[in-house]
Amino acid sequence: MKVLWNDQIVDESEVKIDLEDRGYQFGDGIYEVIRIYDGYMYMEKEHLDRLWVSAEKIRMTLPFTKEALSERLHQLAKEAGLENARVYFQVTRGTAKPRLHDFPDPKEVPPVLMADIQPASRPTAKQTIGIRAGFVEDKRWLHCDIKSISLLGNLLALDEAKQNGYEEAVLVRDNYVTEASASNLWMVKNEVLYTHPDGNLILPGITKIKIREIAKALGIELKEEAFTDKELLAADECFKTSSVAEIMPIIEIDNQKIGDGMPGKVTKKILHAYIEAVNLSVQA
Ligand SMILES: Cc1ncc(COP(=O)(O)O)c(CN[C@@H]2CONC2=O)c1O
């Protein structure tokens, strides 16, 4: 499989990540995941913008321009020959010896870029029936707005939900629902759409940007206000969003039905509008 390694497209067997790479040793790096639909990198600009915001927040200067990175990602997709895919890319703070907590001098230690691309298809089967989730205490750090490769908090939360027989974790901090393990989280109550406001407790999702636009276009009232786990259990509908999951209905949490225990009508309207938006971008 072809991968991007700094400024080269190489076969994955040629990649040499140093043992002292700070991404490998500390999780000292940032990442993005872009969905490609029929050859179109969906919301690419927004993803690249967020990568630069994440870099700034961890005080790392990216050693390439957005244009150069975009060109490399498109080249990777072309050489991989994948039209429907997800491209994962990350930048670590690079290889510093010996291992020290201190940030190395970027003049001596360049960041390391890696990207890989995998086939991806739309999760239509799951979207039709919805998924079951479990509440998990949100014990992550207080920089959840940074799309960091340090994902242990997210992984432990998802594993806790899975150990309890659920497919997803709905994270709760001080009784308020923040998001899911790798998605933003929404509820619908009396036709009003709610989601946790952006800030340091959640990732500002790119899909969330599109949902805002769709809600406005469909005349759905959107309140970016935190809601409690109890309010969520009393909701009419619930769904999660991410570049990969798109809009994914959540029909039960902790074995309690949300609404009638089926994907809700507002959720389905938003999903339909999202796919229409994707198709319009692809055809443009
Ligand atoms: C913690 C968290 N919240 C929200 C989101 C949704 O963000 P986007 O709408 O920008 O995708 C993600 C994306 N997680 C990516 C998406 O796919 N795999 C990931 O790790 C995430 O990891």
- Ligand 1 atom nearest the C-alpha of 184 is 4
Query: Cα 84 to the chain's mean position, in Å?
Result: 17
Nearest partner of 88 among 20, 189, 211, 4, judged by Cα: 4
pLDDT in tens, 76-124: 999 999 999 999 999 999 999 999 999 999 999 999 999 999 999 999 9
Q: Which atom of ligand 1 is nearest to the CA of 86?
A: 17
Query: Do 229 and 135 meet the contact criterion of CB atoms below 8 Å apart?
Result: yes
> 6 Cβ partners below 8 Å, 6+ apart?
112, 113, 114
Provide the pLDDT confidence category of residue 192 given band limits of 50, 70 and 90. very high
Hey, which of 44, 139, 170, 183 would you mutate to test ligand 1's pocket, going by the most ligand atoms within 8 Å of its Cβ? Answer: 183
Closest CA to 265 of 196, 170, 193, 183: 193
Would you please indicate which residues are annotated as catalytic (active-site) residues? Answer: 147
Beta bridge partners of 242: 246
Helix pair angle (66-80, 44-57), 10° resolution:
130
pLDDT at 182: 98
- pLDDT for 173 equals 98
pLDDT digit string (tens) for 4-40? 999 999 999 999 999 999 999 999 999 999 999 999 9
Contact 258, 238 (CB under 8 A): yes
Q: How far is the CA of 234 from the centre of ligand 1 (A)?
A: 25
CA distances from 193 to 83, 91, 266 (A): 33, 35, 9
108 — phi, psi (to 5°)?
A: -100, -25
Tokens standing for residue 14: 């040629």
| Amino acid making up residue 105 | D
Tell me the CA–centroid distance for residue 70 and ligand 1, in Å. 19
For ligand 1, atom 19, the nearest C-alpha belongs to 182
Distance CA 5, CA 89 (A): 10
Which atom belonging to ligand 1 lies closest to the Cα atom of 50? Answer: 10
Q: Are 91 and 32 in contact (CB under 8 A)?
A: no
Q: Pairing state of beta strands 176-180 and 256-257?
A: unpaired
Q: CA distances (Å), 282 to each of 35, 138, 275, in order?
A: 12, 37, 10
Please give the mean pLDDT across all residues of the chain: 98
Contact 238, 253 (CB under 8 A): yes
**Residues 150, 44, 121, 167: is their CA dihedral positive or negative?**
positive
Encode pLDDT of 37-80 as tens digits.
Answer: 999 999 999 999 999 999 999 999 999 999 999 999 999 999 99
- Which mutation among 242, 247, 270 tests ligand 1's pocket best, with the greatest number of atoms within 8 A of CB? 242
Query: In the structure, what pLDDT confidence band is assigned to residue 137 with cuts at 50, 70 and 90?
Result: very high
The single residue listed with the structure tokens 């759905």 is: 220
Q: Residue 130: which residues within 8 A CB-CB, separation 6 or more? A: 248, 249, 250, 251, 252, 262, 263
Percent of the chain with pLDDT over 90: 100
Q: What is the ipTM of this complex?
A: 0.98
Q: How confident is the model at residue 249 (pLDDT cuts 50, 70, 90)?
A: very high
Q: How far is CA 211 from the centre of its chain?
A: 14
What does the pLDDT average to over 214-232?
98
Q: Which atom of ligand 1 is nearest to the CA of 43?
A: 10
Q: How far is the CA of 32 from the centre of ligand 1 (A)?
A: 8
Name the CA radius of gyration of the chain, rounded. Answer: 19
- pLDDT value of residue 144: 98
Cα of 225 from ligand 1 centre, angstroms: 19
Ligand 1 atom 7 nearest Cα: 205
CA of 180 to the centre of ligand 1 (A): 9
Ligand 1 pocket residues where CB is under 6 Å: 33, 154, 179, 182-184, 203, 205-208, 241-244
By alpha-carbon position, which residue is closest to atom 3 of ligand 1?
Answer: 183
Per-residue confidence (pLDDT) for residue 231, from 0 to 100? 98
What pLDDT score does 84 carry? Answer: 97
Supply 48's token pair.
Answer: 């690249």
